Amino acid sequence: MAGAVSHHALASTQSYWLSAQNSRFQKRTSNVRLVYEGSCCSGGRKLGLVCASGSQFSVVEPVQLPSDGNSGHTPKKSSESALILIRHGESLWNEKNLFTGCVDVPLTPKGVEEAIEAGKRICNIPIDVIYTSSLIRAQMTALLAMMQHRRKKIPIIMHNESEQAHRWSQIYSEETKKQSIPVITAWQLNERMYGELQGLNKQETADLFGKEQVHEWRRSYDIPPPNGESLEMCAERAVAYFKEQIVPQLVAGKHVMVAAHGNSLRSIIMHLDKLTSQEVISLELSTGIPMLYIFKEGKFIRRGSPVGPSEASVYAYTRTLAKYRQKLDNMVQ
């Protein structure tokens, strides 16, 4: 049975290394139409909560991975992919209540714990490739979470910043590549640039400029903080990156995890869930809570967070996830 898992994972990993290594030279686009199909978290817009329903969703055949994600090879119609979105765990500036934005601050011990806990929650979900921002708090979260995964593949950060970095980080064993998960870092997934608020205390800023003004800077769609990015501006690079780089992976049948930030993920979720600029104001993401989407036939279906007692319900959504978990169970027997 272990062979079955390996075969699945190997095909995807094998195809990915080529793609990752060439990604610097490629610009991929997608014509996929994103359609939101219902939400298991009705009512509120606070994500990162447990969502458990799903019997209304159809059961599909196991995913068929293409032999090469870049070949234009179309996966079977029934193919589906998992998309996990996770906001980084608590950072040292979250703890101090400072505006952080693009300042590169590491996790607190609590943030490390949150990342490990997140990893336990997604340890049965297939992951073929990881995307993170270029900021250490998102990268720490992704790597710590992957340490918990039952498949025990090793996440490896891709270095394509220069031809030499790319060449010097080559792996010469196919077998070793197969046991690895590429981690792609992209500045486009960074936190919204908070401009002249970066480093300021959030409470003190509210005391100085008024609660409403600060709330507008933090949560409105199109009002930027002083010399910083509005959510709309952040979306222009984060959502564009998502469409150009990540969606093609999902279309190719790859299972993807994205570890990023409160606002870069808010912009992506706004896009996936088709939220209006009014609705996104109340969208809040907790640190370290993974959210699962299923991508199938060009549509994103939100499943919520596979945590605690609702986990079985999350797996009941699709046969692909249930089968993957079964294979993992068989591997350890």
Annotated binding site for substrate: 87-94, 100-101, 137, 191-194, 202, 218-219, 262-263
How would you class 44 by CB atoms within 10 Å of its CB: exposed for 0-12, middle for 13-18, buried for 19 or more? Answer: exposed
Binding mask 158-177 toward ligand 3PG (x if CB under 6 A, else -) reads: --------------------
Binding mask 234-263 toward ligand 3PG (x if CB under 6 A, else -) reads: ---------------------------xxx
Residues 105-124 binding ligand 3PG (CB under 6 A) are none
Residue 107 and residue 86 in contact, taking contact as beta carbons nearer than 8 Å: no
151 binds ligand 3PG (CB under 6 A): no
* Residue located via tokens 């790859």: 254
CB of 46 to ligand 3PG, least distance (A): 13
Catalytic residues: 88, 191
101 binds ligand 3PG (CB under 6 A): yes
Size of the site for ligand 3PG (CB under 6 A): 9
| Torsion sign across C-alpha atoms 7, 246, 119, 181 | positive
Judged by beta carbon, residue 200 or residue 316, the one nearer ligand 3PG is 200
Give the Cα separation of 129 and 81 in Å (integer): 12
- Maximum Cα–Cα distance for the chain, whole Å? 62
CB of 193 to ligand 3PG, least distance (A): 9
Q: Which residue is nearest to ligand 3PG (CB)?
A: 100
Q: How many residues does the chain have?
A: 333
CB of 272 to ligand 3PG, least distance (A): 19
Q: Which residues of 165-178 are buried (b: 16+ CB within 10 A; e: fewer)?
A: ebeeeeeeeeeebb
Written in H, E and C, the secondary structure of 93-148 is HHHCCECCCCCCCCECHHHHHHHHHHHHHCCCCCCCEEEECCCHHHHHHHHHHHCC
Judged by beta carbon, residue 192 or residue 327, the one nearer ligand 3PG is 192
Q: Which residues form the interface with ligand 3PG (CB under 6 A)? A: 99-101, 191, 194, 218, 261-263
